[in-house]
Structure 1
Amino acid sequence: MTITVLGIDLGKNSCSVAGLDEMGRVILRRRLNRDGIVRLAAKLPACVMAMEACCGAHHLGRVLRDQGHEVRLMSPEYVQPYVKAQKNDERDAEAIAEAATRPTMRFVELKSEAELDAQILHRARTRLVGQRTALINQLRAVLLERGIVIAKGRRQLELRLAEMLDDAGARPLTLSARTRLLIEDMRLEWSELDRRIAALTAEFVAQARDDQVARRLTTIPGFGALNATALVAAIGMGETFRSARDLAAWLGLVPRQATTGGKPRLLGITKRGNAYLRTLLIHGARAALPSLSASSTAMGEWLRALLGRAHKNKVVVALAGKLARTAWAVLRSGEIYAAKEGRPATA
């Protein structure tokens, strides 16, 4: 019998595989390491290699694709309904193989090394930003314990630290010599984190300038180098999504619905999918909202009407969803963003 679909349940060291024939019957069950999977695939005729889109799946998928196999990656949540009772690794591999044969299944595109590198850089920058935020909060707590209250904002803390540690004529502070040294060390660490974050940001700006697709995305209001490079690394040219709504749903920006008294009622967004991209889009929408709502474009007219009946935060999320759909249109059309004219804003 010939294996037509090989389902692979990936693990860190050992993986379970299940092979299906043309009738969908399991004719092979085996437990192998990742190198063993490559050796097994080399002995098989060209067939479908199905895996969940998890850590290491894209690298193994590229290796199997180079051997002539068709690689199908799926989101784990789409595979879960096909797992039978008494869940284990062998049944997971069988469920992956079965899910890959469904005609309505949505697959994840294999990422290139360049796209994975971009995503790794974004994750590294996010980690550095989190470390900087934690350091700033700790500095505020240390100073508050000594009775030093600083106004809200990162810039206010920077100015106050410069006043306390750099100015020779500053008023005496209730800080011990050891605490002052600790704060100076934390301040130096803060400066180093700023430098590393700025270096990564400059790298993203250069990537957005050199990449044609990312450069088109930066023409959209609220899309900077971070948003553009992150979106390109995550979805490439957008072939995975059949419509703009599919992309917005993948980002979790589509509102949930409930029916009350026979009438549909909108709830909060689903918050599914890529949380990092969703965060970037919402931050970009918040930054672009003032200028867009004051413009004479069709989007400005829509935003002004929305601001008149909804809270500003809801408008920001709605704008983020519209920007995501606009990005899908720019990716699919190959053109730059062009705002449509609307009625001018009234005073």
Structure 2
Amino acid sequence: MRPNMKFVPTKSEEQQDIRALHRARRRLVNHRTALVSQMRGLLLDRGIPITLSSGRAHRAIPEILENKTNGLSAMSREVIGDLFDFLGQIDAQITTFDRRIDAVFKSNEDCRLIARICGVGPKTATAVVSAVGDGREFKNGRHLAAWIGLVPRQHSSGDKRLLMGISKRGDRHLRNLLIHGARSVVRVAQRKTDPFSQWVNSLRERRGINRAIVAAANKSARIIWAMLNRKEQFRVHA
């Protein structure tokens, strides 16, 4: 009926299981962020500032609760203590999901294959495989990058071509993982001299760090398609 319509890639039972792992973990991470924000707000009401970071909250809140001279009431100290205990339970559950994802990564050949790409770790690799499988639903690497939402939106007319921000289509979680991985690649590229790092550094100098990060994520998506579709090993060009 509609031969030109683009559909979501069909997923196997294994892919659906992996996506369930990622969705459950992401829900817990969101709960953890909300919980830390709430404790931060409660402490700010009493004039006690802490940074909005789970790791720093784990270090700062016990010290605040043990300090009897900071003006925190007994009721507030009890409430924040209970919330902090709940934070520990969420962290433990996230660690359990991390172990499950690592086990899936070690048992899946495609995940191990694409994890050789710079900026692609177990979480990104398993998320990609669960979303796109072997990539055969996409004509080429650019189509995969466009499906993820890593290509510029266009507003062109006649001979005028205007490229805007990335389209942000497709899987938001997958796009975030690729962006975070690309951010680490751009950061460490400053200390390297290989051709890829030189390309990243040149792009960063010309267009800024944010565009360099998105371009590196786009390139990773294209490489991932080639590796999954053709079962090729990642080759680092010297």
Equivalent residues of 1:298, 1:339 under 8 A apart: no
| Partner residue, 1:224 | 121
Q: Cα distance 1:278–1:205, how it changes in 2: closer, same or farther (>3 A)?
A: same
- How far apart are the structure 1 equivalents of 2:44 and 2:147? 42
Q: Which residue of 2 aligns with 1:178?
A: 75
Q: Cα RMSD between the aligned structures?
A: 1.7
Q: Which has the higher contact order (CA 8 A, sep 6+)?
A: 2
- C-alpha distance in 1 between matches for 2:53 and 2:204: 27
User: What does 1:140-159 correspond to in 2, within 5 Å?
Assistant: 140-151=40-51, 153-159=53-59
In 2, the alpha carbon distance for the partners of 1:139 and 1:318 equals 37
More helix by share: 2
Q: Which residues of 2 match residues 308-327 of structure 1 at below 5 A?
A: 308-327=205-224
Distance 2:54 2:184 in 1: 18
Going from structure 1 to structure 2, the CA distance change for 1:154 and 1:105 (only over 3 Å counts) comes to closer
The correspondence for 1:111, drawn from 7, 11, 16, is 11
Cα distance in structure 1, aligned partners of 2:112 and 2:86: 34
Match of 1:335 among 221, 232, 238: 232
- C-alpha contact (below 8 Å) 2:40/2:51 kept by paired residues: no
> Counting strand residues as a fraction of each chain, which structure ranks higher?
1
Alignment partner, residue 205 of structure 1 = 102
* Runs (5+) with no aligned partner, structure 2: none
Q: Please, which runs of 5 or more residues in structure 1 have no aligned partner?
A: 1-97, 342-347
Partner SS, residue 168 of structure 2? coil
Q: Is the 8 A contact 2:9 2:131 kept in 1?
A: no
Cα distance in structure 2, aligned partners of 1:152 and 1:112:
39
Report the alpha carbon displacement of residue 107 of structure 1 after superposing the two structures with TM: 4.1
Alpha-carbon distance in 2 for matches of 1:255, 1:173: 51
* Shift in alpha-carbon separation, 1:109–1:316, aligned structure 2, 3 A: closer
Q: Deviations over 1:104-124 (max 9, x none)?
A: 344444322111111111111
User: 1:30-179, aligned counterparts within 5 Å?
Assistant: 98-99=1-2, 102=3, 104-151=4-51, 153-165=53-65, 167=66, 170-179=67-76
Per-residue deviation, residues 84-119 of structure 1 (Å, max 9, x unmatched): xxxxxxxxxxxxxx22xx2x3444443221111111
C-alpha displacement of 1:209: 1.2
Query: What are the residue-to-residue correspondences of 1:237-248 with 2, within 5 Å?
Result: 237-248=134-145
Check whether the contact 2:115–2:125 (CA below 8 A) recurs between aligned residues: yes
* Inter-CA distance 110–325: structure 2 relative to 1 (3 Å threshold): same
Give the aligned residue type for 2:93.
Answer: R
Q: 1:114 to 1:282 in 2, by over 3 A?
A: same
Q: Structure 2 CA distance, aligned partners of 1:266 and 1:111?
A: 33
**Matched residues in 2 for 1:274 and 1:323: separation?**
15
Give the aligned residue type for 2:135.
Answer: G
State the structure with more CA Rg.
1
TM-score (norm 1): 0.65
Question: Which residue identity is paired with 1:311?
Answer: G
Partner of 2:132: 235
Residues of 2 paired with 1:129 and 1:121: CA distance?
12
CA contact (8 A) 1:297 1:339 kept: no
CA contact (8 A) 1:119 1:234 kept: yes
Residues of 1 paired with 2:51 and 2:191: CA distance? 31
Deviations 1:162-190 (A, max 9, x none): 2122x4xx351222212111111100111
> Quick one: distance in 2 between partners of 1:293 and 1:336?
25
